[in-house]
Structure 1
Amino acid sequence: MSADVLGRWVPDRPEDVAAVFAEAEFPWWIAGGYAIELAVGRELRAHGDLDVLVLRRDQALVRELLADWDLYVADPPGQGKLRPWRPGEVLQPPLHDIWCRRTPKAPWSVQLMLDEAEGTQWVSRRTPEIRLPIDRLGRTSETGIPYLAPEVQLFYKAKATRDKDETDFDAVLQLLAPPARAWLADAIKVIAPGHPWLRRLLPVSRT
């Protein structure tokens, strides 16, 4: 869903989100383009929104943490339609995309994404065979902000790459350790076997 379809966006900064989530009793990660910037340690481009990834099983804790916010769920996902996320409502798949603003008159500032988990494993909501131990799902910036591991973020970006995704890939590629490159290459092979990124990942990944 385009970030400008249903109202004005003024995305928070990662440090703003970190302040809101400081007391969170569940794992969370900055995602999207900001995750790539936290990985490389510098700004790369302008952002239309700010994504935060949490596990679906923690949604009640998230809803409680953001009880004073104005929260809307994209229902159905990707169709340009929002409805309120009611207190106590448990969101089931495929619902995963929640728009957040501090008050009804404020601009949207955070896009909350729900992802799946089984035990100690993160499971891609798009392709369940793509998995990773939850303790490998994120990194922590020098300032203490958790963010989604670049290889996982690039996997999500690989489905339909745009210019900004190519910018992110170019910026972070050289920072990926061989195991991360190998995981990303294997994951992309599942969703897009002919993806052009594979040519740059395969020399140091499993064949």
Structure 2
Amino acid sequence: MDIDNWQPLTVEEVSLLLQDIPIMWGIAGGWALDLHIGRQTREHKDIDIIVFCKDQYKVYQYLSKDWRLYKAYKGTLELWQGEQLEQLNDIWVKKDEHSAWAFQLMLVDQVDEDWVYRRHPAIRRKANDIFLTTTDHIRYLRPEIQLLYKGGSSVIREKDDLDWQMMLPHLTIAEKEWVISGLKGQFPEGQRWLKI
């Protein structure tokens, strides 16, 4: 299975595809940052969508009629049959077994009314407060949360560094303080983005 064969849906196509799904979802990744500032800043190889773990069965039921969903784990991809996913949080989606990858689903945790950052569970926000909406009514992950995911990864890629530098002038003081506090909580020994 060719993991590099991507022909991602556009933001508008994703929005149209998921407009009737009865759950909360939002665009994530680099596209979320671009939606926040209102323009595309770089090429995007894929498109990520955040959904809550508790809604995974609804997502499966909604998409599996027309799409093939694969569980991604440590470099392997296996067809998802709709079983409850506990540790896995990454689903790749394509139209059929021969087509290119179209989008990626990222499952995030929720405890009671709170979104919980899996890498450092002390970091939380109200679940209904993790998304913002564009003037076109497209929901996307807040920039400070997206940057926490990027900066909190075990591998920070060049595009993550570029996204951090690009977004800094667009963050409010509160957003900047929140992501810095989150990175300090996850990395008390230090993290390279904290040297600003």
Question: How is 1:74-113 mapped onto 2 (pairs within 5 angstroms)?
Answer: 74=72, 77=73, 79-87=74-82, 89-92=83-86, 94-113=87-106
Deviation at 1:175, TM superposition (A): 2.1
From 20, 24, 28, the counterpart of 1:27:
24
Question: How is 1:6-155 mapped onto 2 (pairs within 5 angstroms)?
Answer: 6-67=3-64, 68-74=66-72, 77=73, 79-87=74-82, 89-92=83-86, 94-155=87-148
Give unpaired runs (5+ residues) of structure 1: 201-207
Identity %: 36
CA distance, structure 2, for counterparts of residue 136 and residue 73 of structure 1: 27
SS of the aligned residue for 1:109 comes to strand
Deviation at 1:135, TM superposition (A): 2.0
CA distance, structure 2, for counterparts of residue 148 and residue 59 of structure 1: 18
Q: Give the counterpart letter for 1:46 in structure 2.
A: E
Give unpaired runs (5+ residues) of structure 2: none
Q: Give the counterpart letter for 2:14 in structure 1.
A: V
The list of structure 1 runs, each at least 4 consecutive aligned residues, that deviate by more than 3 angstroms after superposition, is: none
CA distance, structure 1, for counterparts of residue 116 and residue 69 of structure 2: 25
Deviation at 1:196, TM superposition (A): 3.1
Length-normalised TM-score, structure 1: 0.87
Deviation at 1:142, TM superposition (A): 2.0
Tell me if the contact between 2:119 and 2:186 (Cα under 8 Å) persists in the aligned partners. Answer: no
Deviation at 1:7, TM superposition (A): 4.8
CA distance, structure 1, for counterparts of residue 110 and residue 20 of structure 2: 22
Superposed CA RMSD in Å reads 1.5
From 188, 191, 195, the counterpart of 1:195:
191
Length-normalised TM-score, structure 2: 0.92
Deviation at 1:6, TM superposition (A): 2.6
CA distance, structure 2, for counterparts of residue 158 and residue 61 of structure 1: 30
